Amino acid sequence: MKLLKKFGLALLIATSMGTFSSTVLAEVDEGRIAYGPHEAIDLVIGKIKEAIVAIKSGSDGAAVAPMIKAALDASKEVNANDVVDRNRSKANDILKAAKAHAKASSLQEAEQELEKAQKAFEALHGQV
């Protein structure tokens, strides 16, 4: 009888572990969109391009700085591996410099920094 109880308990534990796996039940918060690495990189590149177009169309630094901030926020979604994260961090530093130039109304320097950041994020596609 003791053997039967131990076997039944072991079977119950094994069944409960298999049916209630936390990785199976894990999901993104409700209302939040999860992006794959390539999609997230493309999202950031799109936001950088929007900022470049705004600079070329004659927008002032106060209008361009929030666009660059949006690109910085979107870059947090890029998550693939350590190498990509390290290079994403370097590209973010370039975006931060562009944001500082935009706030100081040095739009020519901001545009150059944005173009560097765009190239840096495009290079991330090959590292994913």
User: What gap in Å lies between CA 48 and CA 67, rounded to an integer?
Assistant: 8
- Whether 19 has a pLDDT exceeding 80, the answer reads no
**Which of 79 and 73 is assigned the larger pLDDT?**
73
Q: What's the pLDDT tens digit per position in 23-47? A: 555 566 666 677 888 999 999 999 9
Burial of 69 (0-12, 13-18, 19+ CB in 10 A): middle
**Which of 18 and 115 is assigned the larger pLDDT?**
115
- % of the chain beyond a pLDDT of 70: 88
Mean pLDDT of the chain: 87
User: What gap in Å lies between CA 22 and CA 3, rounded to an integer?
Assistant: 30
Cβ-contact 94, 120 below 8 angstroms = yes
The set of residues, in sequence order, having a beta carbon less than 8 Å from that of 105 and lying 6+ positions away, is 60, 61
**What integer is the mean pLDDT of 96-104?**
95
How many residues in the chain? 128
Is residue 81 very low, low, confident or very high in pLDDT (cuts 50, 70, 90)? confident
- pLDDT at site 86: 93
The set of residues, in sequence order, having a beta carbon less than 8 Å from that of 94 and lying 6+ positions away, is 113, 116, 117, 120
- pLDDT at site 49: 96
User: What gap in Å lies between CA 74 and CA 121, rounded to an integer?
Assistant: 12
**How many Cα atoms occupy the beta-carbon half-sphere of 111 within 13 Å?**
13
